[in-house]
Amino acid sequence: MNRSALLPTRVLTPQGFEADRCVLVENGVIAAVIAATACPPEVQRRELEGDLLPGFIDLQVNGGGGVLFNDEPTLEGVAAIGQAHRSYGTTGYLPTLISDDLSVLEEAIAAVDAAIEGGLPGVLGIHLEGPFLNPERKGIHDPSKFRILDEAAIELLSSLKRGKTLVTLAPELAPPGAIRALVGRGVIVFAGHTAGAYEDACAGLDEGTRGFTHLFNAMTPLGSRAPGVVGAALDAPDAWCGLIVDGHHVHPAALRLALAAKGAERLALVSDAMPTVGSARKEFTLGGRRIVARDGRCTAADGTLAGSDLDMAQAVRNAVTMMGVSLETAVRMASAVPSAVLGLGRVTGAIAPGLQADLALMDATGSVLETWIAGRPSR
């Protein structure tokens, strides 16, 4: 049996931060969280300076380490992206494909399937953001790639053999029954890049839509007589919402309004990261368009936001300052909530007995010093 003990300054458990605790790890699983004085003397011990947190789970990772998943929908591409984000506390992630040809979707799904089969650390599944989106809310997506969700597409979107599949689509353009068909095949459906009305979003929810991709962005806004997709998201008590908390995608006041309406337990921090994260390379090409990262923003020449230059550790720090939440709450929005979105709450997302030892050590400045995935340290 492989046993070890971690003794950090503090550990974040579901009950909150606790000091003088020992986290016992056995064969990659958290065996117990006990008093430091009760730590078995025969177990290999490590004293850690800092806060031991559940590792972050990122539902929307377009790229990192200089790699864009659309350009490298391969096992190597998935590995490079995960390695880059692990430095910032991400121990679980969904490589995310921006709208592309169906042949590229097929390659990306095969790459993620191979990654999970081969035990690549941290890969939890895939996020297919499009191409079943509304050109009226295209954002940086290439509308020439958009298409209608037909039976062949449903077959492809539900073809991942291992892990979780999250699909972002425009519910108003989905044929009747298509969302229900995807959900019936185990796909998690989110609404996004949608020009639909409040009623369209509600109809999608009735068919099984579980949440909303990057709330406020690329969707119809909240109005007094037309609540829009934002209104539907805020009005649906059980719907999840992803949030890009980078100070560019959403105003802090809007973030706080979402928090007041939904509660932190329904808000998941996402990075929406591009290749610039974890890389000295601060520009890249997306669909033939030059994208530049400057002052934390990734934009095309016309100013259109193109994903983000955000990592999850920064998203957690930003949530504390911009949303006014505690560090405990911000971390749970980056770990327990996305774990619940994926239905993995009994597997990962918290530091509790029986869960996988996916952990991140953060110092007083909010920087990540080390991570563990299934108990294996990054250094």
**Active-site annotation, residues:** 272
Q: Strand, helix or coil at 81?
A: helix
Q: Strand, helix or coil at 299?
A: strand
Q: What would the two tokens of residue 92 be? A: 């679980």
CB 105 within 8 A of CB 113: no
Q: How many other C-beta atoms are found inside a 10 Å radius of the C-beta of residue 123?
A: 26
Q: Strand, helix or coil at 182?
A: helix
CB 216 within 8 A of CB 287: no
Which residues, including other chains, have CB under 8 Å from residue 138's CB and lie 6 or more apart? 146, 193, 218
CA gap 107, 74 in Å, rounded: 7
Helix (H) / strand (E) containing 127: strand 125-129
CA gap 6, 43 in Å, rounded: 10
Distances from the Cα of 176 to the Cαs of 129, 182, 230, in angstroms?
Answer: 20, 12, 22
In this structure, what is the dihedral angle of CA atoms 118, 166, 234, 88, given to the nearest 10 degrees?
A: 30
CA gap 244, 270 in Å, rounded: 6
CB 109 within 8 A of CB 160: yes
Which residues, including other chains, have CB under 8 Å from residue 187's CB and lie 6 or more apart? 157, 158, 165, 166, 167
CA gap 202, 160 in Å, rounded: 27
Residue 292 Cα to chain centre, angstroms: 22
Report the candidate in 135, 191, 180 with the shortest Cα–Cα distance to residue 158: 180
CA gap 142, 310 in Å, rounded: 22
